[in-house]
Amino acid sequence: DAGITQSPRHKVTETGTPVTLRCHQTENHRYMYWYRQDPGHGLRLIHYSYGVKDTDKGEVSDGYSVSRSKTEDFLLTLESATSSQTSVYFCAISASGADNYGYTFGSGTRLTVV
């Protein structure tokens, strides 16, 4: 398999509740990313990590936080979910900082905020 799994696959939550999405990899890759996919916007980077406890913001980071306490796990938290955060969330991994092999993506988490 691709060596990257996301959980849960689907989630429905209420406005104002906290939500945590998990990305788990077995490739020992240093770099991990969270993207959201929305019609008309393509994929937009939320946050990324370049090592354990090393994270940085992407272009749409407001309302999201991340944590990476070990190489294999990258968590995305919506502190207080809003309807605008209804989306499909993809995690991706990359082996190094400047390779040309692209990313490997997870299967996505479909999140609905009602």
Partner 1 sequence: AQRVTQPEKLLSVFKGAPVELKCNYSYSGSPELFWYVQYSRQRLQLLLRHISRESIKGFTADLNKGETSFHLKKPFAQEEDSAMYYCALQHFTGGGNKLTFGTGTQLKVEL
Identity of the residue numbered 2: A
1 binds partner 1 (CB under 8 A): no
54 binds partner 1 (CB under 8 A): yes
Shortest distance (Å) from residue 110 CB to partner 1:
9
CA distance 4 to 24: 6
The one segment of 14-22, 34-42, 65-73, 75-83 that binds partner 1 by CB under 8 A: 34-42
The one segment of 10-18, 60-68, 75-83, 100-108 that binds partner 1 by CB under 8 A: 100-108
Nearer to partner 1, 81 or 106 (CB): 106
- How many positions of this chain bind partner 1 (CB under 8 A)? 32
CA distance 76 to 19: 8
Helix (H, G, I), strand (E, B) or coil at 84: helix
- Which residue, 16, 79, 15, 17, is CA-closest to 47? 79
12 binds partner 1 (CB under 8 A): no
103 binds partner 1 (CB under 8 A): yes
Q: Cα dist. 7→25, 76, 84, 97 in Å? A: 12, 11, 20, 25
